[in-house]
Structure 1
Amino acid sequence: MSNAETDAPALRCGELVEDDRPAGAPGIDVLSAREVPLGGPRAMRVRRTLPQRKRTLIGAWCFADHYGPHDVAVSGGMDMPPHPHTGLQTVSWLFSGEIEHRDTLGTHALIRPGEMNLMTGGHGIAHSEVSTPGTAVLHGVQLWVALPEEHRHTAPDFQHYVPEPAQVDGAEIRVFLGSLVGRTSPARAFTPLLGAEIVIGPRATLTLAVDTTFEHGLLVDSGDVRMADTVLRPAELGYVPRGADTLTMVNETDAPARAVLLGGPPFGEEIVMWWNFVARSTEEIVQARQDWTEGRRFGEVTGYDGAPLPAPEMPNVPLKPRRNRPLAPR
């Protein structure tokens, strides 16, 4: 999925973040989403929780869009023309609907609920994403992972994985990246990562053993989920700094609650994000934009009916990248 903002800001990801919570406060920071237009015939809107000023990364997770449920007859659905990516992996995960993916590797794939599309941009890839004619309701998340210096120029790649659900304490868990509850995804990531969909039964309590070296984010899709003394409502993301060996989630409602759990060790590198590019300097982003505009590097997406997405204008102010200072464990 593209960042389709026509005036895309350049972001310094991870800007320093201090732990300014009072002593004894619960170790949960609540990140609220902002709405941005995705594009399409009637500008389908998405809720963006990463990046933002308060926190730009959780592990190597650097971008999180949450959308729907959208009535496609009203919103027009998803129609993302061919657009480029560098220096990242994209993770597509649906709750309802169906999306057709095409890329410059020649991949033509469908993504359905409970299935993951993992695309590695590396040195450069382009793809299109279109909701299929049979899709009535579109609902899901789009996530990006920053690639570390060692692998950010790697060759592009595409993987598709369908995780088997695990039943744990009244919850159903699908691990699409990393390991949790005895399930391990075979999909290749370039830093330690965790990505899982969790559906918690009505009024159920779920406690998960997690890696103490990871920081975590829980993005709530439906229901109210309490972690520690903090209630997370739909479209909110709860951030937990590293150091926790368990995460306890309580569904506060009489219906199933659904969330996406993200995790990874704090990403110790400096990055700059602009439009669909993750880089280390403004100069790299300028070059990637020029390559896309002039038809170099990224290849051609075949089978999409329409023109590629033009790149927005670059901002006038160059940015120096910085990195997150992880919050101290509590």
Structure 2
Amino acid sequence: MQEWISHIPRIELDEPLWLLLLPLLALAAWWMRRQEQKGRVAAVTFPDVERLRHEGLEAPLLLRRLPEWLRWTALVLGVAAMTRPQLVVKQTVAHSRGIDVILALDISESMQLKDAGGRSRLDAVKSVAREFVTRHSNDRIGVVVFKGKGYTLSPLTLDHRVTGMLIDNVSPDVIRDEGTAVGTAVLIAVNRLRASQSDQKVIILFSDGVSNAGEIDPVTAASFAAAQGIRIYTAGAGSASSASSALDEGELRRVALTAGGRYFRAGTSASLAEAFESIDRLEKSELTSPVTSNKSGMFVQLLLPALFLLLFEAMLSNTRLLRVP
């Protein structure tokens, strides 16, 4: 409740001392009204005012008071403008409830193979990763890509439009080192998540499971992730019966088991839905980006109406609402 109230727009005054004129204006209005009641207001005397009233030239009471109200309103607005007010609106770059997720995408040569579906393993993985990003609008998502080495393609962010574009444009050409360093990719993802304030941190590793590069094996890296409270879900890409490069499900299962996650097949809709549901059941955490304050000056917005009211009052006072007695 208190946080919600703090985001309600408010007005700040750069020159608040000008407000001291308002009591003086009130005093002046009271004094002029009193002088009018005593009949001491300057006026031009006509010999037969009753005849003018009889001819219907006397304005109704509300209209007679209108120039006075316009004049005082204009003066109040002028004083308000001199205080240099600013409208302050507090905003957050993004505010949501979710978990922090790193998607680790294998872009090694074996991921270029085409299985029974007619598309490459990498294309299948990109499709699954894209669907995950689309479904999890409240989660901060980052992307790590790896071959013989790995690097962070995108840090944790709620800007899923950019994340989706980066995933769509992933290709094996972004890394020259050959091989598949699954353990290295896990460590890079862990380092990205260690600074997170979320209570729930997840790595989703997309690979065909054939790890043959890097200085740390995948299971050891998964143990390090588990020690940091990070779950790892592994998604197997490819076919276990492929003649050229079979899917190594055993390695991926061990990684997931070590880090408290689950293994699923990236190309199977039922397995995919089950994995997403399992991740969705994780406790959500409050994620708030830094608060920014936007200020906009209101000097012109107050001064222009004041000038208009004074002009309108002068026009009425010298035409239709001209005061005779």
| TM-score band, normalised by shorter chain | under 0.3
Normalising to structure 2: TM-score of the pair? 0.24
Instruction: Give the alignment's TM-score, normalised by structure 1.
Output: 0.24
Larger helix percent: 2
Kindly indicate which of the two structures has a greater share of residues assigned to strand.
1
| Larger Rg over CA atoms | 2
